[in-house]
Amino acid sequence: MKKIVLLASVILLMTHLGFAQENASGIKEDFQPSTLNQPGKEYPMVNSQGYARFRVEAPDAKAVSVSLGLGGRGGTVLEKAEDGFWMGTTAGPLDEGFHYYHLTIDGGVFNDPGTQNFYGSTRWESGIEIPAHDQDFYALKNVPHGKVQQVLFYSESTQSVRRAFVYTPPCYGKDQNKKYPVLYLQHGWGEDETAWSVQGHANLIMDNLIADGKIEPFLIVMTYGMTNEIKFGSGLGNFDIKQFQTVLVDELIPYIDKHFSTLANKDNRAMAGLSMGGMETKMITLNRPEVFSHYALLSGGVYAPSDIKDKSQVKLIFLSCGSRENPDGIKKATEELKNAGFNAVGYISENTAHEFLSWRRSLYQVAPLLFK
Amino acid sequence: MKKIVLLASVILLMTHLGFAQENASGIKEDFQPSTLNQPGKEYPMVNSQGYARFRVEAPDAKAVSVSLGLGGRGGTVLEKAEDGFWMGTTAGPLDEGFHYYHLTIDGGVFNDPGTQNFYGSTRWESGIEIPAHDQDFYALKNVPHGKVQQVLFYSESTQSVRRAFVYTPPCYGKDQNKKYPVLYLQHGWGEDETAWSVQGHANLIMDNLIADGKIEPFLIVMTYGMTNEIKFGSGLGNFDIKQFQTVLVDELIPYIDKHFSTLANKDNRAMAGLSMGGMETKMITLNRPEVFSHYALLSGGVYAPSDIKDKSQVKLIFLSCGSRENPDGIKKATEELKNAGFNAVGYISENTAHEFLSWRRSLYQVAPLLFK
């Protein structure tokens, strides 16, 4: 008995020291609950290599799979264990950062009861977080924290009360006379106004940048870009930006400038968006060049020099994407803009795809460049 | 063909006029999507009588049921239709207001992909809303709206960054010198700091009361009451309130008084809680009589006159519950408090149980009584 306890202690110690056991497939058995799990839930788990492991209770089900991982056709098929739980591990490591996923159980799509839900793909999806080597920049730390304020504003054009979230920095309100620049920051297709502060940690990225003295504080405004109304892949050229443009430019901006201490002018107003929010950013900044001075497209296309009639109207163009997307396209567009005399900055997020770690990093990169 | 179109039009018209068809069970066929459904989702639906109807895709499942309704053993068993969708209607009408629920699919517990998730029972649950005849008081209207502000505060005692939500009224910040009273408002067991503004619509209740001139504006602070750590029904007498009491009274209150324009004194500080949050309210108000002057327990027990050492320390005791809970207990306790010379008010929410409509109504009732 003593020997067994000793052996167990040695294994435990080795695990703690990083000598995790590897199984036959080379998968380290150092799995930990994902940081996004519901309180008290052990699964889904992730290991230090980025593998994800799932465990789902559905003892009478015929088939359970996970829409994530490198197993056949883009998913991970779970196997029923003796205890009636369905288990499985991704065939390979996942990219660092946040991933949406769901379960397919007997032909129906459901969420994993182990983890929290995040609005993406026009539905509340399960989410899992693979710890990134550079996660410190969006970590929740004991630094002064700003607020994320939910505002409800009336939109005359849509005859509806609409929601936005406003990040205000820690110092906001302390000096009543101080006014701040504003970044209008859009989510992607199938997401909503919750995405940037929840999946994106925009508030924590700002808190940390401010605590480190790397940026001058500004506000971030996030609202719903009406992207759910767009059928994905159905030809975005036909998308009519006018309705959202009216809500954003003619209704929300005046509301924000009235209710917050803002520098209410073009020089102190930026617009950025990820994916389809980038497309919206491009359309709106070009349609209304008098409103924004700083533009950023995160995995959301590029500007050509010919898109912009008056070069002097634009102070910054920031273009980014993950290295697994179209980095050459971003680099080429950035060079062309620079050659045409624009202040253009390109950024490639290493080893990430069309996912939130690319966009967290992009926000971290672009924030220090704004309002200079 | 013409006749069929005409007939269909007449039926449609009758439905619109309220002449909904009744089926053999007396169920009116005027079902509409629940207001809490995910964008674009038709099911779950509710009808004008309060019946709920569910439709779930899981073509290869053996059994699907819903933890809601009056069918055998407290749930509704769904039947598989020809199209592979599982459907079912509650055996009777549900009470008005908000209900948590989940699906059981082949022995596992999952959420309904048709509706949004709400944190209750220590997990993110599905939710459905049965329109209440008095829903106007918490409706989203075109009135001035306050904000719900997410704050992150450092707690020395738990060595953690913790979250709270602060409702600030529409006028907050306009007059920089104006200071406001504060209500500390706690959720129930298995819920968290999101419950009161999401399920409870506390912000909309306040916005509407203020727009109607029925109350003087005050702030509401909502934080996590650590109730998940308590095993439900395992003897609450052993519950140690000290950890949460320290976070609330010694850490959060000073943070709020530092970062918001508050009247930082006992006369302008109230505490209320629903269910287990009521138990916490009772314990903390009695342990720390120097902190709060107004107490409210919503489906959360009662005070006996002997609980309170110094009557002059308490300005108001509000006790409430749903009529399907223990209304006689509330009435009796209120009478005893009144007879002992306390300013006590009892309120019974008609035709509701231990659910959020009881608590929305209770907040609506107690708000005008605070800080007089």
On whether any CB of chain A is under 8 Å from the CB of B113, the answer is yes
Task: For residues A197 and A150, give the distance between their C-alpha atoms in angstroms, rounded to a whole number.
Answer: 11
For range B226-235, the mean pLDDT: 72
Do residues A48 and A28 make contact, with C-beta atoms less than 8 angstroms apart? yes
Residue of B115, B126, B145 for testing the chain A interface, max A β-carbons within 10 Å: B145
**Three-state SS across B271-304?**
EEEECHHHHHHHHHHHHCCCCCCEEEEECCCCCC
Is any Cβ of chain A less than 8 angstroms from the Cβ of B47?
no
Do the Cβ atoms of A249 and A280 come closer than 8 Å? no
Residue B68: enclosing H or E segment and its boundaries? none
Is B141 close to A151, i.e. CB distance below 8 A?
no
Spatial contact of A113 and B111, defined as CB atoms under 8 Å apart: yes
Chain A residues touching residue B124 (CB < 8 angstroms):
38, 116-117
Give the mean pLDDT of chain A. 92
What residue in B sits closest to A160 (Cα-Cα)? B142
Structure-block tokens of residue A15 = 């695990």
Count of CA atoms in the C-beta half-sphere (13 A) of B68: 28
CA distance B344 to chain A (A): 35
ipTM of this predicted complex?
0.91
Question: What pLDDT is stored for residue A23 in this prediction?
Answer: 72
Supply the pLDDT for residue A1. 39
Q: Does A161 touch chain B (CB under 8 A)?
A: yes
Work out whether strand B103-105 and strand B108-110 pair parallel, antiparallel, or are unpaired. Answer: antiparallel
The residue ranking higher by pLDDT, A16 or B352, is: B352
Interchain CB distance below 8 Å, A113 and B110 = yes
CB B123 to CB A228 under 8 A? no
> From the list B108, B161, B203, which residue is nearest A140 (CB)?
B161
What pLDDT sits at residue B73? 57
Q: Which residues in chain A touch residue B62, judged by CB atoms under 8 angstroms apart?
A: 60-62, 106
When CB atoms are compared, the residue of A107, A111, A147 closest to B110 is A111
Contacts of B40 in chain A (CB under 8 A): 122, 228
Task: Please check whether residue B297 touches A, CB under 8 A.
Answer: no
CA distances from A61 to A104, B64, B283 (A): 11, 11, 46
Burial of residue B18 (CB within 10 Å: 0-12, 13-18, 19+) is exposed
Quickly list DSSP for A270-301. EEEEETHHHHHHHHHHHH-TTT-SEEEEESS-
Give CA–CA dist A163/A153, Å, rounded.
6
**Residue B44 preceded by cis peptide, ω within 30:** yes
What would the pLDDT profile of B187-217 be if each residue is shown by its tens digit?
A: 999 999 999 999 999 999 999 999 999 999 9
pTM over 0.95: no
Q: CB-side exposure of A130: number of CA atoms within 13 Å?
A: 24
Report d(CA B247, CA B161) in Å as an integer: 11
Tell me: pLDDT of B72 over 60: no
Phi/psi of residue A202, nearest 5 degrees: -55, -40
* Contact residues, chain A, for B121 at CB < 8 Å: none
pLDDT (tens place) for every residue of chain A, 372 residues total: 344 444 444 444 444 444 456 677 799 999 999 999 999 999 999 999 999 999 999 999 999 999 998 655 569 999 999 898 999 999 999 999 999 999 999 999 999 999 999 999 999 999 999 999 999 999 999 999 999 999 999 999 999 999 999 999 999 999 989 999 999 999 999 999 999 999 999 999 999 999 999 999 999 999 999 988 876 555 555 678 999 999 999 999 999 999 999 999 999 999 999 999 999 999 999 999 999 999 999 999 999 999 999 999 999 999 999 999 999 999 999 999 999 999 999 999 999 999 999 999 999 999 999 998
Chain A residue at shortest CA distance from B155: A142
Work out the minimum CA distance from B317 to partner chain A, whole angstroms: 31
User: Which amino acid is located at B89 in the chain?
Assistant: T
What residue type is B256 in one-letter code? I
Q: Which of A83, A87, A150 to mutate to test the interface with B (most CBs of B within 10 A)?
A: A150
pLDDT above 70 for B273 = yes
Cα A281 to Cα A285: distance, rounded to the nearest angstrom? 6
User: B110 at the A interface (CB within 8 A)?
Assistant: yes
A105 closest CA partner among A78, A73, A124: A78
Give per-residue pLDDT as tens, B124-162.
999 999 999 999 999 999 999 999 999 999 999 999 999
Q: pLDDT value at position A17?
A: 44
pLDDT band at B235 (very low <50, low <70, confident <90, very high): low
Distance (Å) of CA A247 to CA A226, A272, A307, B325:
10, 16, 23, 46
| Closest chain B CA to residue A204 | B152
Closest CA to B244 of B162, B121, B122, B124: B162
DSSP H/E element including B100: strand B97-101
Asked whether the predicted pLDDT for residue B14 surpasses 80, the reply is no
What pLDDT was estimated at residue B7? 46
Are the beta carbons of B152 and A140 separated by less than 8 Å?
yes
Interchain CB distance below 8 Å, B113 and A111: yes
Domains in chain A (CATH in brackets) are: 20-131 (2.60.40.10), 136-369 (3.40.50.1820)
A106–B58 C-beta distance less than 8 A: yes
Q: Which sign does the torsion angle of CA B104, B109, B115, B119 carry?
A: positive
**Residue length of chain B:** 372
H/E element, A153 = strand A147-155
